[in-house]
Amino acid sequence: MEAVAIFVLFSASVLWGLTWLPLKYLNQMGFDGVPLTLFLYLIMFILILPWAWRERHHILTSWKVLLGVALLGGGAQLAFNTALVYGEVIRVMVLFYLVPLWGVLGGRIFLQEKIDQIRWLGVGFSIFGAFLVVGGLHAFVAPPSWIDGVALLSGFLFAMNNIVFRVSQAVPVKIKLAFMFFGAFLLAGAVITQMEIPVSFDVSGQAWGILFLYAAVWMMAANFGTQWAVTHIEAGRSSIIIIMELVTAVVSASLILGETMTPLEMVGGSLIMLAAFLEARRAQ
C-alpha cells in the first residue's frame, strides 16, 4: 500500500508543479486571473458536493473547522492561482515554498510544538533565502512587487490550512475539501465585487471545455491524490516527495518559458529548498 501511496503522491506533486501551464493557457484564452479561480472552484465544488453532502452532519459539530478551511484553504488557492497567472512561475513557486517556515511557526503558536535546533536552522535558512529571492538589500530600494506579496500570502495561508487539517482528523476529508473549494469561490467573488473586476463570459466553447476538464480531472486528481497519499505515508517521507512540486515547476518553466533565476535568487531558492529538506528529515 505504501508503494502505491508514494506513486500517487509523486504524481499529484507533479500535477501541482505543472499547474501553471493550464492556468496561463486559460488566461490567454480569455479567462482573467480572479474570475478564472471563481469558475474553476465553482466547478470543483459542484462536482464534490454529492459526496460531501453525505457528511453534512459534520457541519453543525465542526463548523469552526470548516469555516477555517474555507477562509484559509480557499484564500490560499485564490492567492496561489492569481500569483501564477500574473507572475514568473519559478519566483512564485520559490516564495510559495516557504510553507515549511509558516508551518513551523504556526505549529509553535497554535499547537505548542517544540522548535529544536534543526527547526531553528531551517527557519533561518527560509527567512534568509526569501530575503535573497526578493532582491536582498535591493529590496530596500525597490520593494518587492504585489505578486511577491500574493505568493508569500498563498504559502502562509496554505500552511495555516494544513494545521487546521491536522487538528481535525475526525472530520472527513471530502467535506473539508468541499468547504475549501466553496471558500475559494466565495473569496474570488468578494474580490471581484470589491475591486469591480469585469467578469467576461465571452470566451470560446473550447476554452470552457478545457476549464471543465482542468477542474474535473487535473485539479480533482491533484487534491484527492495528495490528501489520500499523505494519510498512508510517514510524514517525513511525504514532505520530501512533495518537494517535487517545486522541482517540477522550476524545470518545466525553465524548459517551456525560458525563465531563469539570477545567482542571488538561486542561492535564496537553494536555502529555501534546504530548509524544506531539514524539516522533512526532522519529521522522519
Most confident of 60-69, 102-111, 123-132, 228-237: 60-69
pLDDT more than 90, % of the chain: 33
Region 216-239 average pLDDT:
79
Query: Is the per-residue pLDDT at 139 higher than 60?
Result: no
pLDDT more than 70, % of the chain: 80
Of residues 156 and 128, the one with the higher pLDDT is 156
Region 116-124 average pLDDT:
71
* 174 and 51 Cβ atoms separated by less than 8 Å: yes
| DSSP annotation string for the chain | -HHHHHHHHHHHHHHHHTTHHHHHHHHHTT--HHHHHHHHHHHHHHHHHHHHHTTTTHHHHSHHHHHHIIIIIHHHHHHHHHHHHHS-HHHHHHHHTTHHHHHHHHHHHHH-----HHHHHHHHHHHHHHHHHTTGGGGGTSPPPHHHHHHHHHHHHHHHHHHHHHTTTTS-HHHHHHHHHHHHHHHHHHHHHHHT--------HHHHHHHHHIIIIIIHHHHHHHHHHHTSS-HHHHHHHHTHHHHHHHHHHHHHT-----HHHHHHHHHHHHHHHHHHHHH-
Query: Is the per-residue pLDDT at 100 higher than 80?
Result: no
pLDDT at 238: 64
Region 18-30 average pLDDT:
93
**Cα separation values, 131 from 134, 156, 184, 267, Å:** 6, 16, 29, 10
Confidence grade of residue 141 (pLDDT, cut at 50, 70, 90):
very low
Region 100-119 average pLDDT:
68
**Average pLDDT of the residues of the chain:** 82
Confidence grade of residue 136 (pLDDT, cut at 50, 70, 90):
low
Which sign, positive or negative, has the C-alpha torsion 130, 135, 136, 139?
Answer: negative
Domain boundaries, the chain: 2-283
pLDDT at 69: 93
Of residues 204 and 115, the one with the higher pLDDT is 204
Q: Which residues are CB-neighbours of 116 under 8 A, at least 6 positions away? A: 282
Of residues 66 and 264, the one with the higher pLDDT is 66
Q: Which residues are CB-neighbours of 148 under 8 A, at least 6 positions away? A: 87, 91, 95, 134
Confidence grade of residue 246 (pLDDT, cut at 50, 70, 90):
confident
pLDDT at 143: 62
Query: Is the per-residue pLDDT at 134 higher than 60?
Result: no
Confidence grade of residue 46 (pLDDT, cut at 50, 70, 90):
very high
Considering the entire predicted model, what is its pTM? 0.84
pLDDT at 124: 73
